[in-house]
Amino acid sequence: MPTDTPPILVFAPDLLMRQQLVEGLRAGGFPVRSAATRARFDAALQEAAPAAIVVELDGVGVDGAALVGELRASDATAATPLIGFCAHTRAELIAAARAAGADRVVARGEIVRGIAKIAGAATRGATDPG
């Protein structure tokens, strides 16, 4: 990808998840920025508009559905592709994040295995089929 391509922004408080996602995105040819805290995530959003946003919905201290709602309510991120992920057992959170406007919500295992493909689909405009 060209160097002027906007980065994928990953917000994941969990260090291992964040590292796996960053590595998967870089291996797929995507420029990437990451944040472990809400303050750093907010700062990254102010610095440059991302091509897509990936959010750990059930990360420590994260209210995933509320964050998705905030991102959708902001003029700066309302149209930015938004991918959420969490434990597959969190059915209520998955439904709430989708209702709040997440383009796609997937389980942790799925996002680790397929982050480059998922990000590619998101940046091309594909949305969550279910």
User: Can you give the pTM of this predicted structure?
Assistant: 0.91
Q: Residue 67: its pLDDT value, please?
A: 97
Is position 129 within any domain?
no
**pLDDT tens digits along 40-71:** 999 999 998 999 999 999 999 999 999 999 99
Residue 1 clears pLDDT 50, i.e. is over it: no
> C-alpha distances in angstroms, 85 versus 1, 48, 90, 108?
25, 23, 10, 6
**What residue numbers bound the domain in which 30 lies?**
8-123
The answer as to whether 1 is a domain residue is: no
Say how many C-beta atoms besides its own lie within 10 A of residue 24's C-beta: 21
**Chain segment 26-42, per-residue pLDDT in tens:** 999 999 999 999 999 99
Residue 68 forms part of a structural domain: yes
The answer as to whether 28 is a domain residue is yes
- Region 91-103: mean pLDDT is 96
* Residue 72 pLDDT: 97
In the prediction, which pLDDT does 124 show?
A: 85
- Residue by residue, DSSP assigns the chain as --TTSPPEEEE-SSHHHHHHHHHHHHHTT--EEEESSHHHHHHHHHH---SEEEEETTSTT--HHHHHHHHHHSTTTTTS-EEEEE-TT-HHHHHHHHHHT-SEEEEHHHHHHHHHHHHHHHHTT-----
pLDDT at residue number 125: 66
Residue 4 pLDDT level (bands cut at 50, 70, 90): confident
- Asked if residue 43 belongs to a domain, the reply is yes
Calculate the CA 113 to chain-centre distance. Answer: 15
Cα 129 versus chain centre, distance: 17
Can you give the CATH number for the domain in which 49 is found?
Answer: 3.40.50.2300
Q: Per the structure block, which two tokens stand in for 70?
A: 């905030």
Q: 100-125: per-residue pLDDT in tens?
A: 999 999 999 999 999 999 999 998 86
Q: Into how many domains does the chain fold?
A: 1
